[in-house]
């Protein structure tokens, strides 16, 4: 069933369907999409559209943590995710969740040891462990806090710690499930700065996010989900230029809304999604005047 | 309060001992005081535990720890002094009540045992970072999964309790009766505990997912970022403790046989 | 992701939360000036959710932690907490909480179990007392009437435990019934 387009893909999902135990409806229904290595992908959709469920399936929590039957296939580098060994899976995929507090292991008394938690579990040698911890703490500007108790950190710092702790395991794919939804504006900015660094590391990033103005700055493509189904999987400008986008209850970047109001399209026929695009477009208009 | 702990940070010989050495001392001294129904044996261990506490510079904190059981210890003296079943020899009278020698001695035995238990464990608790004790136990063979439970409980509880004040305020602002009659206060109890339970179970599920993703379920060799060293002093003290314990048990058996 | 093991990660994470609920119960009860402890709701809830073994572990850890942080004497009453955890877990399995009458009966059984385990501990450590004012007053009265130490201690303990444990059982079930099914399912241990 492998076709040419999925052969080179890092992640390939085909006809994926899943229902939680005790749930009435399917959370995912017949989803097919592929993500290339090094791409950044956004997942959007209203509450209950299946965004988190898709993240859990990609990271293997379904069916290991949440049971229930998976139909269809989900593969990373051609290997079946639901049956892959846990150890291997952890080295492939990392996951960051919404609530910064509940992601802290709770068993460690310092930020430094908190990052070590995952490395200890995987049996990483001590020298390498110290090296990796130092690297990620510096990378996410937490090195000065290394001897603090994790619970003394702010929400934004905690979320950066969560990202650092997962990245210390050096996954090839990082999934972020609404990483800023429970943060104040300041924390949100901090986390987005951290996310922008991820691109430079060359890892594949999948991010569920409602703050579209920020999201469109980072992602190559967006998957729009509705009622567990994949509505459209395309570039941000094509997604947000859909005339019926409002029907899926997701809103749109403020710049797109503005340009739609003004009837301003880019030369390629789509509406702009980011601040920069909009400014370019507007300054272009001025020139014609 | 971020961590539930009585640990007092000092730099003393006792602080530097391996946590398991201190745990072993506490356990062995408690078992021996219960093996021998003797006030002298109890007093010897109280004295030795107390000298450890003093040399660890935690004497003041120890007194606070003992305060917790002060009232029940006093009530033991009174009730046993007055009503102990083997009471026969009156010692003194107070407000028309007669105190007996047998009861007072019995209460003294109970007291030295309990006081030794508190001081010997107190030395462990006051001079050891709780997570070091857990790390030490895991490095010596305790299941890391069980170690996780012990280590996390010390941080999760204060975390949960810090949210209780938020919940209390929220419910009060919705007009919850916290001062009314007994029935009203019972329903208030429900309204306070219910949301706390729901929230913390949801968070627990998320935490379980987060640690799974960080390899908690991986079975195989683990490494430790903090290794708890066993010094020469630790080895000697452990040997001495085992010797004392063996002698005590043998002696006890001999006493039973004879 | 540990396979075949009954103590799944979700359950291991549940245990500290259960102990926290015990603490919170105690805290709320004293804040509301309720004349009871109400400090075993977490242990009971973990037993109902994940079975008697998990209930026992939660109970034991509750007392170990309480002993490590507040009152070292609490260590020895781990046995009582273990008994509460096991009995609630077994009663839940036997569907002994399906209606109010059965729940009351279960509460009485749990109180009895707690008392039977506590009495020998009271006798060994405290010469039979419990440390509760009302219970100890009864104990002193019975001792003065030459009732045996075991029986006196039994009454001392049960007057305290009866109301407390029955109420804890009712509160636990009130809360359990209100929890969403999808959440309960996560913490189910035995399949």
Backbone angles phi, psi at C38, to 5 degrees: 50, 40
Answer yes or no: is C133 within a domain. no
Compute the distance between CA of residue A184 and CA of residue A192 in angstroms, rounded to an integer.
12
Same domain, B232 and B121: yes
From chain C, the residues in CB contact with A86 under 8 A are 1
Q: Does the pLDDT of residue C70 top 90, yes or no?
A: no
For residue A6, the model assigns a pLDDT of: 39
Instruction: Flag if A94 and B213 touch (Cβ within 8 Å).
Output: yes
Q: Does the pLDDT of residue B1 top 60, yes or no?
A: no
**Residues paired with B93 in a beta bridge:** B98
Buried b / exposed e over B101-114, threshold 16 CB at 10 Å, is: bbbbbbbbbbbbbb
**Ordered alpha helix ranges (H), chain C:** 9-31, 41-50, 52-69, 78-93, 100-126, 133-144, 149-178, 181-186
Answer yes or no: is C41 within a domain. yes
Instruction: Flag if A65 and C10 touch (Cβ within 8 Å).
Output: yes
Same domain, B201 and B253: no
**Confidence class of residue C140 from pLDDT cuts 50, 70 and 90?**
confident
Give the H or E element holding residue A28.
strand A28-35
Instruction: Flag if A64 and C9 touch (Cβ within 8 Å).
Output: no
Closest to A22 (Cβ–Cβ): which among C1, C9, C185?
C185
Same domain, B46 and B119: yes
Dmax (CA) of chain A: 66
CB atoms within 10 A of CB A8: 10
Same domain, B32 and B116: yes
Instruction: Flag if B223 and A151 touch (Cβ within 8 Å).
Output: no
Residue scoring higher pLDDT (B2 or A156): A156
Answer yes or no: is C25 within a domain. yes
Give the H or E element holding residue A204.
strand A204-208
CB atoms within 10 A of CB B68: 14
Write out the residue range of the structural domain in which residue C46 sits: 9-117+164-187
Exposed, middle or buried, A46 (CB in 10 Å: 0-12/13-18/19+)?
middle
Instruction: Flag if B213 and A59 touch (Cβ within 8 Å).
Output: yes
From chain C, the residues in CB contact with B110 under 8 A are 125-127
Task: Give the residues of chain A that fall short of pLDDT 50.
Answer: 1-9, 289
Give the H or E element holding residue A233.
strand A229-234
Q: Does the pLDDT of residue C190 top 80, yes or no?
A: no
Instruction: Flag if B150 and C71 touch (Cβ within 8 Å).
Output: no
For chain C, the domain total comes to 1
Q: CA of A93: which chain B residue's CA is closest?
A: B213
**Confidence class of residue C2 from pLDDT cuts 50, 70 and 90?**
very low
Cα B247 to its chain centre, rounded Å, is: 26
Q: CA of A128: which chain B residue's CA is closest?
A: B225
Same domain, B235 and B200: no
Answer yes or no: is B218 within a domain. no
Residue with tokens 């640990």: B7
Apex CA A166: angle with CA A161 and CA A171, to 5°? 150
Answer yes or no: is C144 within a domain. no
Q: What ipTM was predicted for this assembly?
A: 0.91
Write out the residue range of the structural domain in which residue B112 sits: 13-128+228-257
Name the minimum distance, in Å, from the CA of C182 to any CA of chain A. Answer: 6
Closest to B202 (Cβ–Cβ): which among C70, C126, C183?
C183
Rg of the Cα trace of chain A? 20
Same domain, B82 and B190: no
pLDDT in tens, C40-69: 999 999 999 999 999 999 999 999 888 777
Answer yes or no: is B94 within a domain. yes
Same domain, B81 and B34: yes
**Confidence class of residue C4 from pLDDT cuts 50, 70 and 90?**
very low
For residue A255, the model assigns a pLDDT of: 92
Answer yes or no: is B247 within a domain. yes
For residue A3, the model assigns a pLDDT of: 42
Q: CA of B155: which chain A residue's CA is closest?
A: A106
Same domain, B68 and B189: no
Compute the distance between CA of residue C80 and CA of residue C114 in angstroms, rounded to an integer.
5
Answer yes or no: is C60 within a domain. yes
Chain B contacts in chain A segment 64-93 (CB below 8 A):
64-65, 86-87, 90
Chain C contacts in chain B segment 224-253 (CB below 8 A):
none
Instruction: Flag if B145 and C7 touch (Cβ within 8 Å).
Output: yes
Contact predicate C41/C20, CB 8 Å: no
Same domain, B161 and B44: no
Answer yes or no: is B232 within a domain. yes
Same domain, B201 and B110: no
Compute the distance between CA of residue B211 and CA of residue C9 in angstroms, rounded to an integer.
8
Name the minimum distance, in Å, from the CA of B155 to any CA of chain A. Answer: 6
For residue A5, the model assigns a pLDDT of: 42
Chain C contacts in chain A segment 78-137 (CB below 8 A):
86, 106
Answer yes or no: is C140 within a domain. no
Region C97-123 average pLDDT: 94
For residue B180, the model assigns a pLDDT of: 81
Instruction: Flag if B155 and A107 touch (Cβ within 8 Å).
Output: yes
Long-range pairs of C115-122 with CB within 8 A, sequence gap ≥ 24: C115/C154, C115/C157, C115/C158, C115/C161, C116/C83, C117/C79, C117/C80, C117/C83, C118/C77, C118/C80, C118/C157, C118/C161, C119/C150, C119/C153, C119/C154, C119/C157, C121/C76, C121/C77, C121/C79, C121/C80, C122/C153, C122/C156, C122/C157
Answer yes or no: is C154 within a domain. no
Instruction: Flag if C1 and B76 touch (Cβ within 8 Å).
Output: no
Chains with 3 or more CB pairs closer than 8 angstroms to B?
Answer: A, C
For chain B, the domain total comes to 2
Answer yes or no: is B222 within a domain. no
Region B85-108 average pLDDT: 87
Same domain, B97 and B155: no
Same domain, B87 and B151: no
For residue A286, the model assigns a pLDDT of: 58
Name the pTM for this structure: 0.88
Name the minimum distance, in Å, from the CA of A84 to any CA of chain B. Answer: 13
Q: Does the pLDDT of residue C3 top 50, yes or no?
A: no
Contact predicate C10/C49, CB 8 Å: no
Residue with tokens 């802290």: A104
From chain A, the residues in CB contact with C181 under 8 A are 22
Q: Extract the runs of DSSP E, i.e. beta strands, from B51-200.
A: 90-94, 97-100
Cα A193 to its chain centre, rounded Å, is: 14
State chain B's mean pLDDT as an integer. 89
Answer yes or no: is C132 within a domain. no
């Amino acid at each position: 069933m492998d076709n040419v387009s999925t052969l080179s893909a890092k992640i390939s999902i085909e006809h994926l369907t899943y229902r939680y135990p005790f749930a009435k409806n399917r959370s995912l229904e017949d989803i097919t999409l592929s993500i290339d290595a090094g791409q950044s992908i956004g997942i959007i959709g209203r509450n209950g559209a299946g965004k988190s469920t898709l993240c859990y399936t990609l990271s293997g929590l379904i069916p290991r943590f949440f049971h229930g039957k998976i139909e269809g296939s989900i593969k990373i580098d051609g290997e079946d995710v639901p049956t892959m060994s846990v150890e291997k899976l952890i080295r492939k995929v990392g996951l960051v969740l919404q609530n910064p507090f509940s992601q802290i292991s709770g068993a460690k008394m310092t930020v430094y040891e908190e990052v070590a938690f995952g490395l200890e579990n995987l049996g990483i040698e001590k020298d390498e462990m110290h090296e990796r911890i130092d690297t990620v703490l510096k990378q996410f500007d937490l090195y000065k806090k290394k001897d603090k108790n994790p619970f003394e950190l702010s929400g934004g710092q905690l979320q950066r710690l969560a990202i650092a702790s997962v990245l210390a395991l050096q996954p090839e794919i990082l999934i972020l499930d609404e990483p800023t939804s429970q943060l104040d504006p300041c924390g949100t900015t901090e986390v987005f700065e951290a996310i922008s660094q991820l691109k430079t590391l060359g890892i594949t990033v999948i991010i569920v996010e409602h703050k579209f103005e920020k999201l469109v700055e980072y992602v190559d493509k967006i998957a729009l989900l509705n009622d567990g189904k994949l509505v459209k999987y395309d570039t941000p400008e094509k997604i947000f230029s859909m005339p019926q986008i409002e029907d899926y209850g997701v809103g749109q970047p403020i710049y797109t809304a503005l340009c739609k109001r003004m009837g301003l399209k880019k030369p390629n026929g789509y509406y702009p999604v980011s601040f920069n695009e909009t400014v370019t477009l507007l300054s272009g208009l001025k020139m014609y005047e | 309060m971020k961590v539930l702990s009585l640990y007092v940070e000092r730099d003393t010989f006792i602080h530097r001992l391996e946590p398991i050495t201190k745990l072993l001392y506490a356990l062995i001294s408690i078992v021996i005081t219960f093996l021998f129904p003797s006030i002298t044996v109890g007093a010897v261990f109280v004295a030795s535990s107390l000298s450890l506490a003093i040399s660890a510079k935690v004497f003041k904190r120890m007194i606070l720890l003992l305060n917790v059981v002060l009232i029940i210890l006093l009530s033991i003296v009174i009730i046993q002094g007055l009503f102990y079943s083997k009471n026969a020899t009156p010692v003194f009278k107070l407000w028309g009540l007669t105190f007996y020698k047998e009861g007072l001695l019995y209460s003294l035995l109970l007291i030295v045992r309990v006081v030794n238990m508190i001081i010997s464990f107190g030395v462990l608790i006051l001079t050891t970072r709780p997570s070091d004790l857990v790390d030490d136990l895991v490095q010596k063979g305790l299941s890391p999964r069980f170690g996780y439970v012990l280590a996390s409980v010390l941080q999760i509880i204060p975390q949960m309790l810090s949210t209780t004040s938020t919940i209390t305020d929220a419910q009060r602002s919705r007009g919850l009766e916290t001062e009314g009659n007994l029935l009203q206060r019972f329903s208030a109890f429900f309204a306070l505990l219910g949301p706390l339970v729901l929230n913390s179970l949801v968070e627990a599920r998320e935490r379980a997912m987060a640690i799974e993703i960080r390899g908690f379920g991986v079975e195989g060799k683990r490494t430790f970022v903090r290794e708890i060293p066993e010094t020469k002093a630790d080895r000697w003290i452990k040997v001495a403790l085992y010797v004392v314990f063996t002698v005590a048990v043998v002696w006890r058996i001999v006493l039973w046989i004879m | 992701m540990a396979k075949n093991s009954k103590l799944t990660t979700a359950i291991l994470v549940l245990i500290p939360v259960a102990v926290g609920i015990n603490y919170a119960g105690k805290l709320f009860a004293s804040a509301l000036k309720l004349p009871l402890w109400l400090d075993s709701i977490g242990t009971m809830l973990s037993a109902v959710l994940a079975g008697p073994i998990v209930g026992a572990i939660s109970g034991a850890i509750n007392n170990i932690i309480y002993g490590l942080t507040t009152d070292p004497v609490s260590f020895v009453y781990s046995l009582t907490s273990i008994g509460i955890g096991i009995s609630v877990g077994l009663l839940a399995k036997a569907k002994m909480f399906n209606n109010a009458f059965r729940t009351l009966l279960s509460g009485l059984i749990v109180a009895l179990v707690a008392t039977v385990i506590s009495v020998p501990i009271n006798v060994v450590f405290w010469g039979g007392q419990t440390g509760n004012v009302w219970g100890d007053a009864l104990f002193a009265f019975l001792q003065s009437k030459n009732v045996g130490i075991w029986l006196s201690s039994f009454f001392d303990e049960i007057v305290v435990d009866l109301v407390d444990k029955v109420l804890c059982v009712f509160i636990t079930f009130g809360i359990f019934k209100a929890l969403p099914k999808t959440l309960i399912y996560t913490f189910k241990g035995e399949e």
